[in-house]
Structure 1
């Protein structure tokens, strides 16, 4: 079975020309916008209509999929008791799975796809922590385009995340018995959950109270 490759990129406040040069370097021909709100207060060149027109003018396809793959969710059942979006719940939701399937269909048709969101560093963006993980779980090789033009794979990002949250995990695992030892996969899963708590979109207090009352 063929392994498809998917890129991601954060537009930050880059000039359009720099952003396009990064895409061109990796021969991206389709940009999927995964922002829930496709507008930028500090970089209006990435407002939905403007970036769509710019990419079209340069021969790239643009698709907005913020409803399917965005960080903010209108379905309150996808939030946890603490009031933030639970990425594990989202990853099992019908709408999210429809979005992942649309990407897979595009890859099968031969498109070279990059997910676009706002944040420069993918480790603080749902494009990696939610969507990138979802695509990796489907067998895709996910690479995040960095400001210096190099890429970081999803696996490398996971190691960076693990080292942030569990810097002593490797040493500690030597001193626990097998029954209580965590596997590498366990620690990666815990790292995703901690990052979800750090970056997940949070509801206003009155909505949190509604969710807590329903649990």
Structure 2
């Protein structure tokens, strides 16, 4: 696994100051917002315009990529009949592959960036179940920011998520991940 310059974070209920300190602790230069809808009903400091302004004040470039790497795609073929998002379908879509390619290229250029979603727990977010796993297939381990100066590797997150059973079961079948909720 090659050393990765790609990080992941979720804003959760953090203050903007704590959030930015966490980014600073890993020298993040770019924040890629992977939320399909870049606003927060409960944490308005993370609405797109407010977040972009705060990051610019701190020298961090904000980039919206929720249209390619978001967890709630507009393409309804990415959902099952119950409204759950099918990550195995998304990973074959052109929009997702283009977004993933941007991350791979950024890593090759050693650009320090973080992908951001709203979910604070990486094991409950498409950051790990979809993006992190696709990066891992490309020999890149996503660094999940847990707090200031503290990360967990993609491998650790997946081990926790599957309770140590891995992503392939005893019969050689790959575990398929979906969203926790229906949409």
Q: TM-score, normalised by structure 2?
A: 0.89
Match of 2:171 among 160, 182, 192: 182
Asked if the contact 2:6/2:103 (under 8 Å) is kept, the reply is: no
Distance 2:37 2:8 in 1: 17
Which one has the bigger strand percentage?
2
- Shift in CA distance, 158/6, structure 1 to aligned 2, threshold 3 Å: same
Asked if the contact 1:4/1:139 (under 8 Å) is kept, the reply is: no
Distance 1:75 1:119 in 2: 22
Please give the root-mean-square deviation of Cα atoms over the aligned residues, in Å: 2.3
Distance 2:141 2:178 in 1: 21
Q: Which residue of 2 aligns with 1:152?
A: 152
Asked if the contact 2:26/2:149 (under 8 Å) is kept, the reply is: no
- Shift in CA distance, 89/139, structure 1 to aligned 2, threshold 3 Å: same
Q: Which residue of 2 aligns with 1:111?
A: 111
Asked if the contact 2:55/2:62 (under 8 Å) is kept, the reply is: yes
Equivalent position SS for 1:54 = helix
Number of corresponding residues: 181
Q: Which residue of 1 aligns with 2:25?
A: 25
Q: Which has the higher contact order (CA 8 A, sep 6+)?
A: 2
| Residue ranges of structure 2 left out of the alignment (5+ in a row) | none
Q: Which residue of 2 aligns with 1:128?
A: 128
Q: TM-score, normalised by structure 1?
A: 0.76
Deviation of the 1:145 alpha carbon: 0.7
Aligned: 1:56 with 2:45 = no
Asked if the contact 1:78/1:85 (under 8 Å) is kept, the reply is: yes
Equivalent position SS for 1:163 = coil
Asked if the contact 1:3/1:139 (under 8 Å) is kept, the reply is: no
Asked if the contact 1:120/1:147 (under 8 Å) is kept, the reply is: no
Asked if the contact 2:33/2:115 (under 8 Å) is kept, the reply is: yes
Q: Which residue of 2 aligns with 1:10?
A: 10
Equivalent position SS for 1:36 = coil
Cα displacement string for residues 6-64 of structure 1 (whole angstroms, at most 9, x for unaligned residues): 11011112111111111111111111101011101111111001111111111111110
Deviation of the 1:148 alpha carbon: 6.1
Q: Which residue of 1 aligns with 2:178?
A: 196
Equivalent position SS for 2:163 = helix
Distance 1:136 1:5 in 2: 13
Cα displacement string for residues 45-90 of structure 1 (whole angstroms, at most 9, x for unaligned residues): 1100111111111111111011101111111222223332110110
Distance 1:117 1:36 in 2: 9
Deviation of the 1:182 alpha carbon: 3.4
